[in-house]
Amino acid sequence: YDDPSYFKTFADRNGAPNFSIFTGEEDALAKVLAGFSADVMHPCNYSVNRFVNAKVAAEIDVSRLSHWKDVFPALQTADGVVMDGKVVMAPADWGNASIAYRPDLVDEDFKKNESWKIFYDDKYAGKVAMLDNELCITLGLMFEGMAYKDAVSVVGDKLKATADTWGKKCIANSRFLWTDATEVNQALASGEIVAAYAWNDTIKNLTDQGIPVAYARPKEGYFTWYCGLTLLNSGKTDKALAYDFIDAWLSPETGKTLIEGSGLGHSNTKSFEVADKQAVAKMGFTDPIQHMKDGTLFAQVSDEVQTEYNKVWGDIKALKQ
């Protein structure tokens, strides 16, 4: 997302901004709280509350965004976009989180019964890669019959017990816990791994290379998300530049780049009008609201729950190192 093609109108006028790449939203929050100065960041619907609660996110004045009027109306008011009646994130990109796998390298039984349990199956130990995220634990709770909406709020002894079983198994079986999608793409392409937690862009990347790849619809469900741009009050530059950058991200031209280049959706309704029709058709969806209803939308959790999850996840990860 530091490629100028995602904010071309801004780059044409001002040049490319300075970027700091974070491994995850919790990493980004820690940096900002430690004094790192940034004007804009790119969080997601399930994490923006962390920045709002920490009082480092500023309200966005949508009257300063020329493309706001073309954002899907339901996204303009979606949870994580609006908090306490204030717009705190300008939604931009959206898509899936599921299992990308090599159909030529996995067993037939998995293809007939796609499941997140592939990350916990010793048959695939060392041949899978999970995101560096506590989802390893949440999935375990779901395998035990708990609904996702309840699983994400589990704390205390139950959380620790699940981490000690399902969480540790997921970590042990993963060849690596990834933070960089490029690493996953390369490992799947080479056959180093046969399956990975992945977003839509991995499917687009491997398909374009002519590498056989499939995107699972796990029996437990696939996940959906939307991300966007948030103003930070730690910024020291002219706010007009920050708004210009956000507005560039909301443009239909950026949406065209996302759809055609990554297979990801975009918040601007006009993006689907200007993008290549074949690329839109390959996405399999054009309406973010219906798409999110069909999947399981990643949820926000309270600061207290997230802090406990962070500690438990960090503790069991340390055992692998």
Q: Are 178 and 184 in contact (CB under 8 A)?
A: yes
Structural domain contains residue 150: yes
- Number of structural domains (the chain) is 2
**319 found inside a domain:** no
Q: Does 158 share its domain with 87?
A: no
pLDDT in tens, 166-180: 999 999 999 999 999
Residue 312 lies in a domain: no
Confidence of residue 49 (pLDDT cuts 50, 70, 90): very high
Given 221, 237, 258, the domain boundary residue is: 221
- Same domain? 115 vs 130: yes
pLDDT of the residue at 321: 59
pLDDT score recorded for residue 282: 84
| Domain co-membership, 81 together with 105 | no
What single-letter DSSP state applies at residue 33?
A: H
Which residue range forms the structural domain that includes residue 247? 4-94+224-297
The reply to whether 124 falls in a domain is yes
Whether residue 233 is found in the same domain as residue 209: no
- Average pLDDT value over all residues in the chain: 94
Contacts of 124 (CB under 8 A, 6+ apart): 106, 118, 173, 194, 195
Q: Same domain for 204 and 105?
A: yes
Quote the pTM value. 0.90
Name which of 280, 262, 298, 304 is nearest 1 in CA terms.
262
Q: Are residues 28 and 121 in the same domain?
A: no
29 pLDDT more than 80:
yes
87 against 1, higher pLDDT: 87
Let me know whether 103 and 87 are in one domain.
no
Do 210 and 259 lie in one domain? The reply is no
CATH of the domain at 79: 3.40.190.10
Do residues 132 and 117 share a domain?
A: yes
201 neighbors 97 (Cβ within 8 angstroms): no
Q: Would you give the distance in Å from CA 250 to the centre of its chain?
A: 18
Kindly state whether residue 314 falls inside one of the protein's structural domains: no
- Per-residue confidence (pLDDT) for residue 20, from 0 to 100: 79
248 and 213 inside one domain: no
The answer to whether residue 283 is domain-embedded is yes
Last residue of one domain, picked from the residues 168, 189, 221: 221
Note whether residue 130 is domain-resident.
yes
Q: pLDDT tens-digit profile of 255-272?
A: 999 999 999 999 999 999
Separation CA 281–CA 274 (nearest Å): 13
Q: Are strands 296-297 and 223-231 parallel, antiparallel or unpaired?
A: parallel
- Percent of the chain surpassing pLDDT 90: 83
Verify that 48 and 114 share a domain, yes or no.
no
Confidence band (pLDDT; 50, 70, 90) for 6? confident
- Does one domain contain both 102 and 84? no
Asked, for residue 316, whether it belongs to a domain, the answer is no
